[in-house]
Amino acid sequence: MRKFFFIAAVSMTLLSSCEHEQFKPVAGKGGAATIVVYPAHHGVTSSLDSVTVYIKYNTLNAPADGKYDDSAACTYVNSLPMCSFTSLWNGDYYIYARGYDYAIAGKIRGGLPFTVRAQQSFNFTLPLGEESGY
């Protein structure tokens, strides 16, 4: 009986002292989540043209080298420019867009981080601002 208690105590000590790294999802293709992106320049969408949206997997920051993992051209659906990224896993993404706004006759761009936490569809409004020289 004493041997049983000794083995149980040692086992409990060993099991409780193990540290496990917390699982961090790996973002990217292969899942069932969808991010639907709606770009807007100061809340206005009617004058936007040639908007392309880029996505970078596994980060909440814009890539230093400017290289993204995927891109999509926006199309108008119900008078709103939009595009979508499908089949995504849970994880961190950085979403960036650039295009042209006829109302200001200038180029626009902007980006924000987004985290997918569930395998479902998400609507994401991406605010864009004026930028020169990109």
Could you tell me the residue ranges of all domains in the chain?
24-130
**pLDDT for residue 1:** 58
- Helices (runs of H) and strands (runs of E) counted in the chain: 1, 8
Those residues with Cβ within 8 angstroms of residue 131's Cβ, 6 or more apart along the chain or in another chain: 98, 107, 108, 109
Those residues with Cβ within 8 angstroms of residue 115's Cβ, 6 or more apart along the chain or in another chain: 60, 91, 92, 93
Report the SS3 class of residue 12: helix
The tens-digit pLDDT sequence of the chain (134 residues) is 565 555 555 566 655 555 556 666 789 999 999 999 999 999 989 899 999 999 999 999 999 999 999 999 999 998 899 999 999 999 999 999 999 999 999 999 999 999 999 999 999 999 999 986 54
According to CATH, what is the number of the domain 24-130? 2.60.40.10
- Please choose, from the candidates 129, 106, 117, 120, the residue with its C-alpha nearest in 3D space to the C-alpha of residue 33: 120
Task: Give the predicted TM-score (pTM) of the model.
Answer: 0.80
Task: Return d(Cα 104, Cα 130) in angstroms, integer.
Answer: 9
- For residues 81 and 74, the answer to whether their CB atoms sit within 8 Å is yes
